[in-house]
Amino acid sequence: MSNDITTYQQPTEAPTVTHAGGEMIAATARALVDAHNIGSALCKTSFVPKHFQGKPEEAAAAILYGASIDMDPITALQNVFVISGKPALYARGMVAVVLSKGHKIWTEEESEGSVTVAGQRKGSDTVERVTWTSEMAKRAGYTSNSKYASDPRSMLYARASGDVARRIAPDALLGMAQNIEELTVDRVADTRPAPAPQQSVSVASLTQQATPATETEPEPPAQTETLPVEASDEQDGRYWRKRLFATLNERGITDADEQRQGIGHIVNREITSRSELTEDDAQKVVEHLEATGGEQ
């Protein structure tokens, strides 16, 4: 690890604080200094997820939030994500936090199309039970996420266990409203454009305001992404990505830079490599192109 770590300096004299709110702010400021120093060091390593690498401020915020739910810095960086400005954990992380406080969560029933999870708050006789079925997920619009087809049990468990964790121990989770599985699906569903059959929009026209991607190494030609799209691809997590690039190439949008810029505009973040695309990203872009016509 490099030794040229930039550190924040503690003030030589802390300001005098005379009320509880001010004490909390002062304590948070001191904690932020420590969190930033830790984040600066860890963000230069491969021990943190890609979205924190080189972003010590983001890492510091995640470390502070993790500390509030009793996570050490490395655990926080591995588990805390920010989606639409909201901190979130995967359902398994929420369950882990709740269990660490002495509460109980367990699976009562599990099948391909239904999962029932139960939980009990420490010191309480009340048992909370939540069941999620594939039909419920479909009615709620969550099955736009292809994981509901390839791994329905895990997705239904995430829904049910997240609901139970929040019900029995909202204090342990600081009132966290949603888990990552919910936020990710909702983001795709809520931003889906309304059909506009009379309007023809090309990916190129969407990228006029986009910032050109910065390449660190050459990518293979865009056409190499065009492979036959088969229904079986959904099982190995490649269906929507293959369908996206097949669609782009069919419409003559074969330039790699144009593809990345157009996709980045639609998913609302910079795309520097096609390998960064998730299945949810690809599905969102395909649905956008189909809704708008997406023709040159």
Whether 14 is covered by a domain: the verdict is no
The burial class, CB within 10 Å (0-12 / 13-18 / 19+), for 104 is middle
Whether 172 is covered by a domain: the verdict is yes
In the predicted model, what is the mean pLDDT of residues 136-160? 87
pLDDT at 6 over 70: no
Same domain, 186 and 95: yes
Same domain, 100 and 174: yes
Same domain, 62 and 120: no
In the predicted model, what is the mean pLDDT of residues 232-246? 67
Q: What is the DSSP string of 271-291?
A: -S-GGG--HHHHHHHHHHHHH
Same domain, 101 and 184: yes
**Nearest CA among 119, 100, 131 for reference residue 164:** 119
Domain tally, the chain: 3
Residue where a domain terminates, one of 190, 217, 248: 190
Whether 9 is covered by a domain: the verdict is no
Same domain, 31 and 117: no
Per-residue pLDDT tens over the stretch 17-59 = 456 677 888 888 888 899 999 999 998 888 888 888 888 999 9
pLDDT at residue 217, rounded to an integer: 35
The partner residues of 109 in beta bridges, in order of sequence, read 116
- Domain range enclosing 119: 91-190
Whether 198 is covered by a domain: the verdict is no
Same domain, 54 and 27: yes
Whether 268 is covered by a domain: the verdict is yes
Split at pLDDT 50, 70, 90, the class of 60 is: very high
pLDDT at residue 119, rounded to an integer: 97
Whether 3 is covered by a domain: the verdict is no
Same domain, 107 and 186: yes
- Integer CA distances (angstroms), 22 to 18, 19, 61, 73, in order: 7, 5, 19, 25
